[in-house]
């Protein structure tokens, strides 16, 4: 079988000495003059670059790229347009590197080099540019081939990416960080993409156990009986309709010693969401294997934290269940009792995520007394209405966390936008017969009312809720995205935890 993983390294070298299948050189729009290093390269290759720029009208528009066949030490020189320098930033850099990497792979180029100096300008730190380049390639080149059995040896892939620079800085740290982040993002995509007949709650729990063993994390899984014993009435009810029994997964990383309160990350882990008795109609039932995206992201975030040896304590709690139909399924109009004793009136069995999270959040707050709770969930279809496929909506009860999140969002290039938790939204969750109803008024502020419901279960612990209902999945192969699972929030949360104080 073909080796599909890509390795990245950064080396100091003189351009004219490079030997590779391709060399990428970046140009800003309207700035086609060659730097001294490029002049030297141009001369070595018989002025092929300067004459190509003149004769082919290369404008260096963003995304434009032109290939010059030279077939000497370097086989192809690729001129890459970076667009206007004033608008250039890490988002454009990573997107362009990801797109070009894919194109080269599709053209069967298994190794290529990037001339770092031409992709940076005064605004960037070289270390950060190297990190973003490596991430662009490694995340952009992701493909999910696990379930293909034919012609595996014909799958195209990039074996090696080399970042060339004249700088004598050491880039080991940047590359090391990018490799850990890309690996965890891509493993998240693999598991989210794994079909629901394979990735059952028990399978995900076993997978996490395997990761925990390798990374030295503490792993505990509770089975149905134990979940029931702990009075998680909402979680159990959701799990009832499936032959694939639930698990409550708990992973713990201790990087700051015993005295320090942990940060808790709770992830929704519905391995398939049929909607239950409120069955999702076709085509909305498709892709519902991605409903475990929050749990799977959380599992890989804690793995990354342990690999990066971050000085903090972290606990991940993931309720894993399948929302299916059976004689034993929970129903609309049922009243359930949550872990914290609250009674919850059910109105739609397709709003199952908030129920498994209600118990998981209350359990986390009670058992671990965390400093903060972050939950990640493919919670609502309404998230598509709010920000489309571009960004992820979140709510937050704490100014400090809000700041941390916004910083991490800018650095990780994952776009998020906050929605308010105004008291008025609470009215729609009033129940005639129980303490609370689990859904609000149809078609009205669905992301917020779902969050308002969850807020009842966090015991006033500073809380951040991220709704990845839309951004967990990509319809297109574009930039760093590959059609399918995106690994949403993995880069964001690693970035947030990396800077945690
Ligand atoms: N898992 C879905 C949310 C979802 C829908 C994610 C589409 C990704 C794509 C969730 O369990 C759900 O079905 N939510 C309902 C809630 C409603 C019944 C109040 C929704 O958003 O329609
Ligand atoms: Zn649902
Ligand atoms: Zn769901």
Residue 172 lies in a domain: no
Report the alpha-carbon distance of residue 301 to residue 247 in Å, rounded. 19
Q: Which whole number is the average pLDDT over 31-49?
A: 94
Residue 350 clears pLDDT 80, i.e. is over it: yes
pLDDT tens digits along 127-148: 999 999 999 999 999 999 999 9
**pLDDT score at 3:** 52
Judged by DSSP in three states, 156 sits in: coil
Closest atom of ligand 1 to CA, residue 268: 1
Q: Structure tokens of 151?
A: 């012609």
Exposure b/e, 258-288, CB count within 10 A at least 16 = b: eeeebbbbbbbbbbbbbbbbbebeeeeeebb
- Which has the closest alpha carbon to 144: 205, 176, 98, 188? 188
Residue 137 forms part of a structural domain: yes
The answer to whether residues 103 and 233 belong to one domain is no
Total domain count, the chain: 2
Single out the residue in 115, 136, 166 at which a domain terminates.
166
> Is the predicted pLDDT of residue 4 greater than 80, yes or no?
no
Which residues are placed with Cβ below 5 angstroms of ligand 3, an ion? 270, 273, 291, 353
Instruction: For the chain, give the mean pLDDT.
Output: 96
Q: Both tokens of residue 275?
A: 């909607």
Residue 173 domain-assigned?
no
| Residue 191 sits in the same domain as residue 154 | no
Q: Which residue stretches of 339-445 are H helix?
A: 353-368, 382-387, 399-412
pLDDT in tens, 207-220: 999 999 999 999 99
- For 421-473, write each residue's pLDDT tens digit: 999 999 999 999 999 999 999 999 999 999 999 999 999 999 999 999 999 99
pLDDT at 300: 98
For the CA atoms of 154, 136, 116, 173, the dihedral, rounded to the nearest 10 degrees, stands at -110
What the block records as the tokens of 168 is 């004598």
Q: Is the pLDDT of residue 2 over 50?
A: no
**Which protein residues have their CB within 5 A of the ion that is ligand 2?**
273, 350, 352
Residue 159 lies in a domain: yes
Q: Among 166, 190, 225, give the residue marking a domain's end.
A: 166
How many alpha carbons fall within 13 Å on the CB side of residue 136? 26
* Ligand 1 binding pocket includes 382 (Cβ within 6 Å): yes
Task: Please identify every residue annotated as catalytic.
Answer: 280, 354
Considering only CA atoms, which residue is closest to atom 19 of ligand 1?
351
Q: Ligand 1: does its nearest atom lie under 6 Å from the Cβ of 359?
A: no
pLDDT at residue 1, as a whole number: 40
Element (H, E) at 176: helix 172-193
CB 212 within 8 A of CB 275: no
Same domain for 197 and 108, yes or no, is: no
The token duo for 196 is 């629901």
Same domain, 420 and 370: yes
Residue 313 lies in a domain: yes
Cβ-contact 246, 292 below 8 angstroms: no
User: Which ligand 1 atom lies nearest to the CA of residue 290?
Assistant: 8
Range of 190's domain?
A: 181-498
**Band of the pLDDT at 57, cuts 50, 70, 90?**
confident
């Amino acid at each position: 079988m073909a080796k599909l993983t890509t390795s990245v390294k950064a080396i100091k070298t003189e351009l004219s000495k490079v030997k590779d299948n391709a060399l990428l050189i970046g140009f800003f729009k309207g700035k086609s003059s060659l730097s001294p290093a490029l002049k030297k390269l141009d001369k070595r290759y018989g002025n092929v670059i300067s004459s190509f720029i003149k004769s082919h009208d290369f404008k260096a528009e963003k995304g434009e790229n032109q290939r010059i066949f030279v077939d000497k030490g370097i086989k192809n020189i690729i001129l890459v347009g970076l667009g206007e320098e004033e608008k250039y930033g890490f988002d454009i850099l990573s997107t362009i590197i990801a797109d070009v990497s894919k194109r080269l792979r599709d053209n069967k180029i298994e190794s290529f080099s990037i001339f770092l100096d031409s992709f940076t300008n005064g605004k960037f730190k070289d270390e950060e540019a190297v990190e973003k380049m490596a991430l662009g390639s490694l995340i952009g080149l992701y493909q999910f081939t696990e379930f293909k059995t034919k012609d595996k040896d014909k799958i195209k892939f990039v074996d090696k990416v080399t970042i060339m620079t004249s700088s004598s800085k050491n880039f080991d740290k940047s590359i090391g960080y990018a490799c850990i982040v890309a690996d965890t993002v891509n493993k998240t995509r693999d598991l989210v993409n794994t079909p629901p007949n394979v990735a059952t709650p028990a399978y995900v729990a076993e997978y996490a156990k395997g990761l925990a063993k390798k990374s030295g994390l503490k792993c505990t899984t509770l089975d149905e009986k134990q979940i029931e014993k702990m009075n998680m009435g909402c979680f159990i009810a959701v799990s009832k309709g499936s032959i694939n029994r639930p698990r409550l997964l708990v992973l713990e990383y201790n990087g700051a010693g015993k005295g320090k309160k942990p940060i808790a990350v709770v992830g929704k882990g519905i391995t398939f969401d049929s909607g239950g008795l409120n069955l999702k109609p076709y085509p909305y039932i498709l892709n519902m294997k991605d409903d475990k995206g929050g749990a799977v992201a959380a599992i890989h975030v804690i793995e990354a934290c342990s690999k990066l040896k971050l000085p903090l304590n972290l606990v991940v709690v993931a309720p894993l269940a399948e929302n299916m139909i059976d004689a034993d399924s929970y129903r609309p109009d049922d009243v359930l009792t949550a872990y914290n004793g609250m009674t919850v009136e059910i109105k739609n069995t397709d709003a199952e995520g908030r129920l498994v999270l209600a118990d998981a959040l209350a359990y986390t707050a009670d058992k671990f007394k965390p400093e903060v709770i972050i939950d990640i969930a493919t919670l609502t279809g309404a998230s598509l209405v709010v920000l489309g496929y571009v960004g992820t909506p979140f709510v937050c009860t704490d100014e400090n966390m809000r700041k941390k999140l916004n910083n991490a969002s800018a650095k990780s290039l994952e776009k998020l936008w906050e929605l308010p938790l105004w008291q008025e939204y609470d009215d729609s969750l009033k129940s005639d017969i129980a303490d609370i109803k689990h859904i609000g008024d149809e078609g009205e502020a669905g992301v917020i009312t779902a969050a308002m419901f969850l807020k009842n279960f966090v015991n006033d612990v500073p809380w951040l809720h991220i709704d990845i209902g839309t951004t967990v999945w990509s319809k297109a192969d574009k930039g760093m995205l590959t059609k399918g699972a995106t690994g949403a929030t993995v880069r964001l949360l690693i970035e947030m935890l990396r800077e945690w104080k």
